Amino acid sequence: MNRQLLAVVVMAMAAVGVARADATNASTAGPKIHFDKTVYDFGATSLVDSVTGTFTFQNVGSGQLTIGKPQPSCGCTVASLSTNVLQPGETGRLGFQVRVAGQRGHLEKHITLPSNDPQASSVSLGIKVEMRQLVDVTPAQFQLGVLKQGSTTNLAVTLHRTDGQKLVVTSAQPSDKRLTVRVVPVEGTNDQSSAKLLIDVDAKGAPGALNDSVKVFLDGITQPAATVFVSGRLLGDVILSQESLFWPITIQTNQTANSEQLSVRRISVSSATTNHPLQITNLSTSLADMTLELVPVDTGKVYSVVARLTTLPQQSERGTISFETNTSLQPKVVVPVTITVLRNINSHPPLP
C-alpha cells in the first residue's frame, strides 16, 4: 500500500511540474515587455523648469517586440524611444521631459506606451513630482486699477524662505523704471528666513496698460526665486473706449460690398479732467478705404470717432486713426487699426 501511495504522489508531483512548465512557456511565448519600474517619482523639488528621466524596459518573451508611438497625457510632456523593435532579451529606453515651470503642488503625468505584447498591449507609465516654492510671496500680485499721472503707490510684499535657511536677497529687479524696490527686515522679529519687499509705483510715462514685475534673486541661485506682478492702467488726459480697433471681414465667393460688411466702428473719446474742456482736431487715418467723422456727444467732454469703410478690402491691412488734442499729456493720440479679411473657400457662387 505504501509503495502504491508513493507512486501516486510522484505521478501527481510530476503532473504539477509539467503544468507549471507549460504555464511558464505560455507566459513567455511571443513578445513580452517588462519595465524596471512604471512610476517615476521625483519627490519634492523647486526652481526647476523641467524634470527628465528614463524608463528602461526589456523583451523577456520569445518573439519580436514592436513598440508603438508614446502617447503623453499632456502637451507639457515629451517622450522619445531609443528603438521601437526589440528581439528577445534586448533592452530599450523611453526618455521623457516634463515642463513644470510656474506650477505648484502635486503634479502627476502619464505616458501610454503601446506594443504588440498580447498580455500588455499598452502600459501606463506615471511621472510624479511635488513642486514647492523656495520662497513664499504674499501677495504675489497686485491689481492697481486706474493710476493718475504723477501719483505714487506704495506696495509691501512679505518674502519667506520655506526651507528654513537664511533669506539673503542679492537683488530685486523691476521690469520698468516706474518701479523702485527696497528690501528691509520684517519689523519686530528676528526671523532671518523672512524679509519685506517695498515697491513704489510712480505713475509716469505714456498712458495705457501697466504690466510690470519684480524678480527676486537669492544668494547662490542664478534664476529668480520669486516674482511679484504689478498691473493697472495709467490714466492720461484722454480716455478711449478701446485703444486699438480690430475689424474682421468675411468674404464669400463673388461677394460685393454690403451694409453688414461695411458697418461702422465707433471709438468713444472722453476727457479725464473736469476743469479742462477737451478739444479734438486733425482727425485722420492712414487707410485709403476708410472715412472718419467726429461726432460731439457732450461738447468739451465726450466725442465719438465714427469710422466707415467705403469699399470692401480684398486683403488684410493695418493702419492707424490719429487725432490731436489740447491736453499736455496726450497732445496726439494714435489708435492702431487691424482689418482682417477672411475668405470662405467652401462657399458656392450664387445660382443664375
Give the start-to-end residue ranges of the domains of the chain: 33-131, 135-235, 238-343
Tell me which DSSP letter residue 207 carries: S
- Across the range 223-248, mean pLDDT stands at 88
10 Å Cβ neighbour count for 209? 9
Evaluate the CA torsion angle 204, 205, 209, 212 in order and state its sign: negative
- Across the range 162-180, mean pLDDT stands at 91
Tens digits of per-residue pLDDT, 72-103?
A: 988 888 889 999 999 999 999 999 999 887 67
Per-residue model confidence (pLDDT) at position 347:
46
Predicted confidence (pLDDT) at residue 203 exceeds the cutoff of 70 = yes
Per-residue model confidence (pLDDT) at position 259:
47
Q: Does 2.60.40.1510 match the CATH number of domain 135-235?
A: yes
Angle ∠(28,34,40) on CA atoms, nearest 5: 165
Do 238-343 and 33-131 fall under one CATH topology?
Answer: yes
Residue 65 has which C-alpha cell? 517586440
Work out the pLDDT band at 122, boundaries 50, 70, 90.
Answer: very high
Work out the pLDDT band at 294, boundaries 50, 70, 90.
Answer: very high
Evaluate the CA torsion angle 314, 315, 316, 317 in order and state its sign: negative
The span from the CA of 183 to the CA of 175, in Å, is 16
Predicted confidence (pLDDT) at residue 254 exceeds the cutoff of 70 = no
Q: What is the CATH number of domain 33-131?
A: 2.60.40.10
Residue 262 has which C-alpha cell? 461695411
Mean pLDDT of the chain: 85
Tens digits of per-residue pLDDT, 42-73?
A: 988 777 778 999 999 999 999 999 999 999 98
Angle ∠(200,204,205) on CA atoms, nearest 5: 135
Q: Does 2.60.40.10 match the CATH number of domain 238-343?
A: yes
The span from the CA of 237 to the CA of 270, in Å, is 9
The span from the CA of 167 to the CA of 136, in Å, is 11
- Across the range 101-111, mean pLDDT stands at 84
